[in-house]
Amino acid sequence: MNARHDRYSTILMTVAAAVVLTLLPLPPILDLMRPYWVALVIIYWGLETQDHITLGLAFSIGILLDLLTASLLGLHALSLVIIVYLVTRFRARLRFFPPWQQALSVLALLVNDRIILLWIISLRGEPLPSLEFWLPPIIGTALWPWLFLLLDRVRGIMRYRAAR
């Protein structure tokens, strides 16, 4: 197998793990704090691999996530496309930030996602959510350095296996 195929399989494997973490049933109190795992993984791969995470891939993953979570069709697709666009647009800057600044950038991306979700909620005429609505971006930001290290390790292992 070639290295490009191995890279895509690694990306899809980690995205699949993020989807499983998203679908994992949790108690109601913990469900309110569930980070947007798929977005975090997509942000990582968007920063670390150039031209592998495209808007079409983000849209496809988002539609799949919409179908699996039974949410409004296109909701996750829209948010992931916007996240991928912003990551690819500012990749050169974001990639070389120190970890704490990179975590703040991830917070900005996740808050932007919540603002889009809030906009869609208001368009549908639903009542505005409570303050717990803003917990997942904070939790995702706190988990970012650890997730970054884990995915970096996975990428290194897969690269090592491909080289052998």
Every domain of the chain and the residues it spans: 3-163
Residue 83, token pair as written in the block: 């996240």
Q: Give how far Cα 84 sits from Cα of 54, 89, 108, 123, 138, Å.
A: 7, 8, 13, 23, 19
CA distance linking residue 5 with residue 108, whole number of Å: 32
pTM: 0.93
Q: Within 13 Å, how many C-alpha atoms sit on residue 75's CB side?
A: 19
Digit-by-digit pLDDT tens for the chain (164 residues) are 566 666 788 999 999 999 999 999 999 999 999 999 999 999 999 999 988 999 999 999 999 999 999 999 999 999 999 999 999 999 999 988 888 899 999 999 999 999 999 999 999 999 999 999 999 999 999 999 999 999 999 998 888 877 77
